[in-house]
Every structure is written in structure tokens, then in C-alpha cells.
Amino acid sequence: MKDLEKRMYFCVPYNISPIQQAIQAGHAALEYAHKYKDNEEYIDFIENWKTWIILNGGTTNSKLDENANNYLGTLNQLESSIIQFNFEVKRTKDENQEINFSTFWEPDLNDALTAVCFVCDERVFNYTDYPDIDIFIKEGDGAYNKNLWFETFKNGPWTLENAEEQFPSLYKEWEEFLGGPKNVFLRYLLKNKKLA
């Protein structure tokens, strides 16, 4: 099997300086290293890849705020979505699909969440070799089947959720091609995120 490129991704708040964004990413990277130091994916990342991608995670709230549940920042929501995904994986799917991630809560910013960090392989970010489902639909010989594509997507915009419901066999094939539900989840978690 091909040795898949790995990257470490971070989501950080938009409203701290660029140097602080990098420092917060560094804090989360150290938390990740401490937590997953013996993990094969992390060891491969450290030995062979080393690329960090720091993304704008939007807003954040303090974990000291008792009313935070009423107005969670987008970075807090991102962390919650990963926790929820991992909960579902533990309950229903292969535990190898669990997302290893770390967070950092900055004491000097009123204990606000300032970074979410995870490592993923190229099937999440390489859209050329691992296209989205709408491009993935093809004939057995690898040529794109334009008629199937048109019939499948002619009714306009669709979401990942309804693709899984409307085209279960195609979706399952694509999900396996990307390496499972974890990579599909991370792909859509990162979609449309901008560099910090």
C-alpha cells in the first residue's frame, strides 16, 4: 500500500494575532504528542511529513462561562462535533475510525479554547487523487460516466447526508475509497476553512 502523506491540522480563533495563533497551535501539538506519542499515525507524521496547517476556526468561548451552551463559539462547536463523531464510532462502528485529537485551553485568555488539533492522511485533503463523491462516480474502466453524473446530480445542490441516503452503494464505495467514515467526516470538517 502507498505510504499516505500526513498533515497536522489546527483550528484556532480568528481574533488573536498570527503569532498567537501559531503559539496556540504549538500548545495543542504538544498536547497531541503527549497523548498519542505511541500512535503509529503520529509517529509516521513526525518521522516523514511534519507539515502543519493552521486554519481559521472562528470564535471561541471560555470553559468558565456557565451559559456557554447557549452561545458556543464555532471552535467549540468543532470540538463538540469531533467528540460526537467519536461517541458514535464507539457505539456503532470500527474503533479504528476514531479521530485522535487534542485541544488547548489558554489560561491567559480566561480559559478559552484556543486550538483543536488532529493528524489526517492525504485522503482527507488530496482532492486530485481522492475526489469528492460527485467526481468519484465513474465507470469500471475509470472514465467518468457523464450520464450517470447528470442523472445523479441534475436536481441541484445536495448535502453529504442526503448523498448517503440517496446513493447508498455509491456512497459506501466512495467512503471506503477515502479510508472510512473518519476521513469523510474530516474532509467535510475542513471544507471551506481558510488559512489563519
Residue 145 has what pLDDT? 55
Helices first, then strands: H and E counts in the chain: 9, 4
Residue 94 has what pLDDT? 79
Angle made by CA atoms 33, 51, 16, in degrees to the nearest 5? 80
Q: Could you tell me the three cell numbers for 37?
A: 506519542
pTM (predicted TM-score) = 0.87
Question: Using N-to-C axis directions, what is the helix angle for 74-92 and 181-190, rounded to 10°?
Answer: 170
- The number of domains in the chain is 1
Give the mean pLDDT per block of 10 residues along the chain (196 residues): 90 98 99 98 97 97 66 90 94 86 96 97 95 70 53 58 77 92 95 94
Domain membership flag for residue 59: yes
Domain membership flag for residue 78: yes
Angle made by CA atoms 100, 28, 39, in degrees to the nearest 5? 35
Domain that holds residue 22: 6-125
**Domain at 99, CATH number:** 3.40.1490.10
Residue 72 has what pLDDT? 84
Domain membership flag for residue 121: yes
Domain membership flag for residue 74: yes
DSSP 29-82: HHHHHHHHTT-HHHHHIIIII--EEEEEEE---BTT-TTGGGS--HHHHHHHHH
Chain-centroid distance of CA 17 in Å reads 24
Domain membership flag for residue 64: yes
Residue 140 has what pLDDT? 46
Domain membership flag for residue 27: yes
Domain membership flag for residue 155: no
Domain membership flag for residue 134: no
Residue 139 has what pLDDT? 47
